[in-house]
Amino acid sequence: MTEFFASLTAGVLVFVAGYGGLQGPLGRQAACVLAYLAALLVFLCVVGGAKAMRAYAQGREPEEKHGIARYFSFDVDHKVVGVQYTVAAVVIFLVGGTLALIMRLELARHGLQFLMPDQYVTVMSLHGITMVVVALIATAGGLGNFIVPLQIGARDMAFPRLNALSFWLLPPAVILLLSSPFLGGLDFGWTAIAPLSTQGTTIGKQLFLLAFVTAGFSSIFGGVNFVATVLTMRAPGMGWRRVPIFTWSIVAAAIIQIMGTSVVAASLIMVTFDRVLHTTFFNSDLGGNVLLYQHLFWYYSHPAVYIMILPAFGAILEILPVYARKPLFAYKLVAGALLTITALSFIVWAHHMFTSGMWMLLKLPFMVNTELISIPTGVVFLAVMGTLWKAKLRLDSPMLWALAMVANFLIGGLTGIPLADAPTDLHLHDTWFIVAHFHFTIMGGAVFGFFAGFHHWFPKMTGRRLNEALAKTQCALMFVGFNAVFIPLFWLGNHGMRRHVADFPAWMDPVQTFASLAALVVGSSAIVFSYNVFISLRGGEAAGENPWEALTLEWKTPSPPPHGNFKTPPVVAGEPYDYGASA
């Protein structure tokens, strides 16, 4: 743990010294970028990267810490990295949630209450980007890192050091994001649309861009690792038709991480160039192209929503058969559907740009392509519905979360179609209809899916069981509260409520006040959750190897699994979802 705090201190010192020293000769923006790069390098070395590389060069096993300290160190065990990601996601989720409550407080009435309009935008941008990080890392990074190697019977990930690096790039990114409001704020939302993002000279904006790029590298490294691991390290007997659906979903998401993230990083680096080196990529007066930014940004950021939702699909599809006590319906078709979504996700980006002024006729192909995604998404619903038919449902907490996710995502998916449909999107774009829609998909889908997986695998990760009554209470509170917040907001969006603004006409007051009160219910669910995790870690019932009587490999080893995962390397002899009685 000393290394962790030492690395933080060193990083901050290097940044302050570098920025102070370079600011005179180079100007603020360039000084900020260079100082950050140096600080990042120092941070990664001190936190343990240097030691790990030295051990690797000398052919030694990396030294292992014990107890809590492990989780604050550059540890290469995938289980440690999985827990690090999960805890980080939960902590960032609580921060982002607090920011959401601050916004809802401001939005409780028309007029400005306690936030200046630009402060509202800063809080909104921070809430947006922190929650995007949560949705990107919680299931794919947290549960994925812990569960996927176990599920395919591997000892670890293919590149354990890269795995640790991919996690340790996140803390600097998050620290940067959270400090940006104090260094000049960000008034450009979490999407940093140029040329608004190339304006202004505060370093808060520059730090935001750097944080985004840093998180991007983390995501690329994670993606490469998952694909390599699943390609090469499956247990004997695990042909592609026996790969559990959660692992399939992580592979699908990882492909997007590899193929998309570099493009968004490029667009942000181009903005940085415009700011620092005064290039003119996005300056139309000097021959730049303003729309180019949006094309590059959405080329990644649309597929990115599938990095969030595919693992959540995987988690609930993994969970349903276990608690329905019967095989996953249409397993092969749905695995194919996940990969189809991955492929299609790269040819739909300009549905975010129907109003942007791009060439008019492009609206048509992007509309049709986007609507095609509803076909593989429908297959996911088919698998869910088929699995429930003539099941014997055990309504344990993970199952409740999974069912709640399905109910939410049904609304999220259906409300996406009017946004894909160009004529209606011309009205709905950038209103609260879209805000409600993406909360139904990201929060209702990805976050509920994460909680489903979290409750399912918590016993495996910690060796202890969560308190069921509290878990069900949390699920009920969050489901009811969440729906109550966002359903009325669809309607408000249609009637003229713009996105990104702190003020609105007085007639909207009743609906807005209601949504703000309902947000408190969601907030209370987070308190129940934190309390449950706290008491369960201290005194929860011992979980045993397989508390849910599941068949996949992660349940065939002690909880938590020992170093190296399995005492004897597992061999796969059957299908992953062979539950139930024959008819």
Partner 1 sequence: MKNKSAVAAIAALSALIAWGLHFVFTRFPTMPLAASEQAAHVDSAWNGLLIVEGAIYALVMGYLIYCVYAFRAKKREEQGQKFDRSRGRFVEVAWLAVSVALTLSLAALGSHELRALISDPTADIDIEVRASQFSWEFYYPQTKTFGDKLYMEKGKRHRIILTSKDVIHAFWVPEFRLKQDAVPGKAIPLILTPTKVGEYTLLCNQLCGRDHYDMRAIVSVLEHEEFEKNMKAEF
Rounded to the nearest 10 degrees, the angle between the axes of helix 170-179 and helix 160-168 is 10
User: Could you tell me if 273 and 341 are in contact, meaning their C-beta atoms sit under 8 angstroms apart?
Assistant: no
- Structure tokens that stand for 510 in this block: 């009743």
Interface positions, 480-519, toward partner 1 (CB under 8 A): 491, 494-496, 498-503
Q: Which of 79, 161, 234, 326 binds partner 1 (CB under 8 A)?
A: 326
Shortest distance (Å) from residue 495 CB to partner 1? 5
Which residues of the shown chain bind ligand HEM in the complex (CB under 6 A)? 97, 100, 103-104, 107, 124, 127-128, 131-132, 134-135, 189-190, 435, 439, 442-443, 447, 482, 485, 499-500, 519, 522
Contacted entry of Cu ion, ligand HEM, partner 1, none for residue 375, CB cut-off 5 to 8 Å set by kind: partner 1
Cα 243 off chain centre by: 23
Does 394 interact with partner 1 (rule: CB under 8 A)?
A: yes
* Closest CB to partner 1 among residues 41, 395: 395
Q: Which of 127, 242, 302, 429 binds Cu ion (CB under 5 A)?
A: 302
* The residue type at 291: L
155 DSSP 8-state letter? S
Could you count the other beta carbons within 10 Å of the beta carbon of residue 30? 17
Contacted entry of partner 1, Cu ion, ligand HEM, none for residue 519, CB cut-off 5 to 8 Å set by kind: ligand HEM
Interface positions, 101-120, toward partner 1 (CB under 8 A): 117-118, 120
Does 431 interact with partner 1 (rule: CB under 8 A)?
A: yes
Interface positions, 137-196, toward partner 1 (CB under 8 A): 187-189, 193, 195-196
- Which residue's Cβ has the minimum distance to ligand HEM? 128
Q: In terms of Cα–Cα distance, which of 306, 334, 304, 341 is closest to 320? A: 334
Does 79 interact with Cu ion (rule: CB under 5 A)?
A: no
User: Could you tell me if 379 and 423 are in contact, meaning their C-beta atoms sit under 8 angstroms apart?
Assistant: no
User: Site mask, partner 1, residues 272-311, x = CB under 8 A?
Assistant: ------------xx----xx--------------------
Q: Which of 381, 520, 535, 556 binds partner 1 (CB under 8 A)?
A: 381
**539-560: b (≥16 Cβ within 10 Å) or e:** ebeebeebbbebbbbbbbbebe
Does 580 interact with partner 1 (rule: CB under 8 A)?
A: yes
User: Which residues, other chains included, contact 291 with Cβ-Cβ below 8 Å and sequence gap of 6+?
Assistant: 353, 356, 357, 358
Contacted entry of ligand HEM, Cu ion, partner 1, none for residue 302, CB cut-off 5 to 8 Å set by kind: Cu ion
Interface positions, 197-236, toward partner 1 (CB under 8 A): 199
Kindly list the distances between the CA atom of residue 434 and the CA atoms of 135, 487, 489, in Å, as whole numbers in the listed order: 17, 12, 9
* Closest CB to ligand HEM among residues 349, 579: 349
The answer to whether the Cα torsion of 358, 308, 169, 207 is positive or negative is positive
User: Which residues, other chains included, contact 496 with Cβ-Cβ below 8 Å and sequence gap of 6+?
Assistant: 431, 505
Contacted entry of Cu ion, ligand HEM, partner 1, none for residue 485, CB cut-off 5 to 8 Å set by kind: ligand HEM
Does 414 interact with partner 1 (rule: CB under 8 A)?
A: yes
Shortest distance (Å) from residue 488 CB to partner 1? 9
Could you count the other beta carbons within 10 Å of the beta carbon of residue 454? 25
> Beta partners for 66?
none
Kindly list the distances between the CA atom of residue 530 and the CA atoms of 402, 454, 479, in Å, as whole numbers in the listed order: 20, 13, 17
Provide φ and ψ at 412, rounded to 5°: -60, -45
Shortest distance (Å) from residue 184 CB to partner 1? 12
Tell me whether the omega of the peptide bond preceding residue 560 falls within 30 degrees of 0, making it cis.
Answer: yes
533/201 Cα distance (integer angstroms): 43
Cα 308 off chain centre by: 5
Contacted entry of Cu ion, partner 1, ligand HEM, none for residue 132, CB cut-off 5 to 8 Å set by kind: ligand HEM
* Closest CB to ligand HEM among residues 117, 558: 117
Provide φ and ψ at 212, rounded to 5°: -60, -45
* Closest CB to Cu ion among residues 302, 455: 302
Contacted entry of Cu ion, partner 1, ligand HEM, none for residue 509, CB cut-off 5 to 8 Å set by kind: none
* Closest CB to Cu ion among residues 19, 346: 346
Residues lying near Cu ion in the complex (CB under 5 A): 302
